[in-house]
Amino acid sequence: MSGTLSLSTLSLSCRPTIDMRYVTRYSRVMIRSIRHKGLRRLYEDDDSRGVKSGHAEKLRDILARRDAAGTIADMDMPGFRPHPLKGESTGYWAVTVRANWRVIFRVAERDVLDVDDVDYH
């Protein structure tokens, strides 16, 4: 039959890719509190008012990855550079947004708390 398509003729490369920013993950690890109002609005409503316009897309990626990640090691992707903070911010982790801007957060048990968008350095 010339008009039929069988599963054996489908290529694996035809599979759709999934945009992880829009995947709901149900796990015990998740963002529980966000300090920065604009960041909270971006996370909860996908509304970028309140964050720097040039940072919005990267912030979406960071928040989605942080929400889906089981461990800090899961955040270790090109351009994110997760690292623990020292001094007064001991216990917090930082992920690079751009130049001096970082998303910082702390992990308590398996919850992500006090997520903030800060300019430090």
Domains of the chain: 32-119 (3.30.2310.20)
Q: What is the pLDDT of residue 10?
A: 46
Tell me the pTM.
0.75
Which position among 36, 55, 83, 121 bears the catalytic label? Answer: 121
> Looking at residue 38, what is its pLDDT?
97
Residue position matching structure tokens 């996370």: 43
CB 64 within 8 A of CB 46: no
Dihedral angle at the C-alpha atoms of 58, 59, 65, 70, nearest 10 degrees? 140
Helix (H, G, I), strand (E, B) or coil at 48: coil
Residue by residue, pLDDT tens for the chain (121 residues) are: 455 544 444 444 455 556 666 655 555 568 999 999 999 999 999 999 999 999 999 999 999 999 888 889 999 999 999 999 999 999 999 999 999 999 999 999 889 999 999 998 6
At 57 the pLDDT is 96
Output the pLDDT for position 110: 82
Side-chain half-sphere of 55: how many Cα atoms within 13 Å? 23
**pLDDT for the residue numbered 5:** 46
Q: What's the CA angle centered on 33, arms 52 and 49, to 5 degrees?
A: 25
Can 121 be counted among the known catalytic residues?
yes
DSSP at 34: B
Q: Are 66 and 115 in contact, with CB atoms under 8 Å apart?
A: yes
Q: Is 11 exposed, middle or buried (0-12, 13-18, 19+ CB in 10 A)?
A: exposed
pLDDT computed for residue 88 by the predictor: 94
